[in-house]
A and B are shown apart, each in its own frame.
Chain A
């Protein structure tokens, strides 16, 4: 038996084993399913956030169904890439992506925020398989991802590390501590994604506490900045590919998005940040998305 260490090619092959690398058409269709899941689970729970999950739906789908090397049947698979949503409040999209990718049954989405379910209001390592670090207090996730990236480097592991952040979250000081750290240690296997939907709970980001010029801020922290149209699947694919090949610096993808994207009465309205649609509103939204509450909730409960 050979005891020689794996070659770079073997490591790369293992690292690609869990990637789906779906084409644009399949990603587009899956992103629609994710939106339907989000609205259905919020319609059922009558508690939770609507706006951010919908703005994350497209790049989230690309991340989970094209980019990430993971094995949902074995969430702690040693070869896995690491993903983390620093914005813990977007659990509707996190759980929808996880369930659609196969981490747990779709029916679990119908127990979002319920006492007898595992799907906590904000992600919990203790409760949900596949959640690696709990989140919910904003600004902490990029630091966690820096730690994962450092551990991977110490182990000479080719793991890539993805951290989804919010635009309002950029107001937290810890984000910039972590940004400084990642650039200092040249963590080029770390990729941040900012859901730049321009809204936060109290209103427009620029009215509450301006973050412009955001790209310049990250550039000045020595990050490779990639701007993209966050609801254009092809452009998101381009952004992830650019981050993957960039060496020597961490990359951040600033995804320009619309809060509530996909549901006409929510799109661009900050008041949908933190509230769910009422049952009749959920049904209206789902009809806009080509289904109905009855049809889609039945699909979720059947799996």
Chain B
């Protein structure tokens, strides 16, 4: 099914992390097992909404991400549904061993909120711009991962994570980003969504790059190039059937992510494509380099994470597709 998401002239701008924070409050009201932990970043990760509403189920851990991960595991072992949140750079790298051994190997029902993913974190610079999360998290068995594209999808991803039995990592960002979905847009954990139809190539994106992909599609459509846009919010477990179908039906794939090119969404998609239906692929991603300080918008431009970069990748992949024909 195609959702035919259309972009308004001026999209509403909203923080994905607020979707996380709001969803936790609604989940907390519905389910007494929901517990929220934070490592001294209550407002940054927007779990302060939950803390105000359910102080008895909110645990301030201080600046100790490894400890926080273990505490969440203990809570889960006793039947709670703990969400722990910090910046994604610390959740995925600092606590990687704790996530691997204590949480994932035990397959405990721990939910991880990685805030401030990507180059768009901006002025804080490279240390705080989490761009390795997908590669690290998706290589760990039992662990699922969602990279939602906007406020509403982050809200739904958070609810879906609570409903899924097992560990889940949700990656979201810092900045206001365009809202491309609505409250009623369908969201199914583990399934990609075709946001727009097209037959010449498919752009598979996650996170804020879904918006950039839709913008790129508008420009390419004006040239008569048909672009299918897939929002692959669940990076793991990955929607193999949809990826294989896109490879078969459009014969060329571009992936787009605000993440390192190594082992990210592009790699995950390529692993499916080469096994099921090899077609030319191009990657829009951060090309194996650390970030730097700057305004979010200028960094997105400088690191090649814009609609223009998706368009350029589309032209390259179409050239290769034609050369094969």
- Complex: how many Å from CA A265 to CA B74? 39
Q: Which residues of B are found within 8 Å of A141, using beta-carbon distances?
A: 70
Q: Which of A66-84 contact B (CB under 8 A)?
A: 82
Per-position binary interface string of chain A over residues 155-180, scored 1 when its CB falls under 8 Å from any chain B CB and 0 otherwise: 10000000000000000011001101
**Contacting B82 at CB < 8 Å: which of A147, A152, A180, A184?**
A147
Q: Is there an interface contact between B71 and A147, defined as CB atoms closer than 8 Å?
A: yes
Q: Is there an interface contact between A181 and B78, defined as CB atoms closer than 8 Å?
A: no
| Given known contacts A133-B106, A134-B101, A134-B106, A147 and B73 CB-to-CB distance under 8 angstroms | yes
Closest CB of chain B to A251's CB: distance in Å? 18
Chain A residue nearest to B64 (CB atoms) is: A177
Q: Is there an interface contact between B67 and A143, defined as CB atoms closer than 8 Å?
A: yes
CB of B56 within 8 A of chain A? yes
Quick one: which of B62, B66, B70, B80 has the most chain A CB within 10 A? B70
Q: Is there an interface contact between A146 and B71, defined as CB atoms closer than 8 Å?
A: yes
CB of B27 within 8 A of chain A? no
Q: Give the segment of A49-57, A124-132, A205-213, A281-289 that binds chain B.
A: A124-132
Q: Is there an interface contact between A144 and B101, defined as CB atoms closer than 8 Å?
A: no
Per-position binary interface string of chain B over residues 68-82, scored 1 when its CB falls under 8 Å from any chain A CB and 0 otherwise: 111111111111101
Closest CB of chain B to A68's CB: distance in Å? 16
- Complex: how many Å from CA A295 to CA B101? 37
CB of A294 within 8 A of chain B? no
Closest CB of chain B to A65's CB: distance in Å? 23
| Given known contacts A151-B79, A152-B78, A154-B57, A181 and B64 CB-to-CB distance under 8 angstroms | yes
Q: Which residues of A are found within 8 Å of B97, using beta-carbon distances?
A: 137, 140
SS class, residues of chain A in contact with chain B:
helix
Q: Which residues of B are found within 8 Å of A145, using beta-carbon distances?
A: 74
Q: Is there an interface contact between A148 and B105, defined as CB atoms closer than 8 Å?
A: no
Interface range, B side: 20 to 34
CB of B61 within 8 A of chain A? yes
Q: Which residues of A are found within 8 Å of B78, using beta-carbon distances?
A: 82, 147-148, 151-152, 155
| Given known contacts A148-B78, A180-B64, A181-B64, A154 and B101 CB-to-CB distance under 8 angstroms | no
Q: Is there an interface contact between B74 and A149, defined as CB atoms closer than 8 Å?
A: yes
Q: Which of A104-153 contact B (CB under 8 A)?
A: 124-126, 132-137, 139-152
Chain B residue nearest to A181 (CB atoms) is: B67
Closest CB of chain A to B40's CB: distance in Å? 12
Q: Is there an interface contact between B105 and A126, defined as CB atoms closer than 8 Å?
A: yes
Q: Which residues of A are found within 8 Å of B56, using beta-carbon distances?
A: 154
- Complex: how many Å from CA A139 to CA B35? 23
Q: Which residues of A are found within 8 Å of B64, using beta-carbon distances?
A: 174, 177, 180-181
Q: Which of B148-201 contact A (CB under 8 A)?
A: none
CB of B59 within 8 A of chain A? yes
Q: Is there an interface contact between A150 and B105, defined as CB atoms closer than 8 Å?
A: no
Chain B residue nearest to A147 (CB atoms) is: B74
Q: Is there an interface contact between B66 and A143, defined as CB atoms closer than 8 Å?
A: yes
CB of B86 within 8 A of chain A? no
CB of B45 within 8 A of chain A? no
**Contacting B101 at CB < 8 Å: which of A135, A142, A178, A180?**
A135
Q: Is there an interface contact between A144 and B73, defined as CB atoms closer than 8 Å?
A: yes
| Given known contacts A133-B106, A174-B66, A151 and B75 CB-to-CB distance under 8 angstroms | yes
| Given known contacts A154-B57, A177-B66, A178-B67, A147 and B77 CB-to-CB distance under 8 angstroms | yes
21 contacting pairs across A/B (C-beta < 8 A): A82-B77, A124-B105, A125-B108, A126-B105, A140-B66, A143-B66, A143-B67, A143-B69, A143-B102, A144-B77, A146-B70, A146-B71, A147-B73, A147-B77, A148-B74, A149-B74, A154-B57, A154-B80, A174-B67, A181-B64, A184-B62
Residues of A in contact with B (beta carbons under 8 Å apart): 82, 124-126, 132-137, 139-152, 154-155, 173-174, 177-178, 180-181, 184
Q: A147-B71, A174-B67 are in contact. List 4 more A-B contacts (CB 8 A).
A: A133-B73, A144-B74, A147-B82, A174-B64
Residues of B in contact with A (beta carbons under 8 Å apart): 35, 56-57, 59, 61-62, 64, 66-80, 82, 97-98, 100-102, 105-108
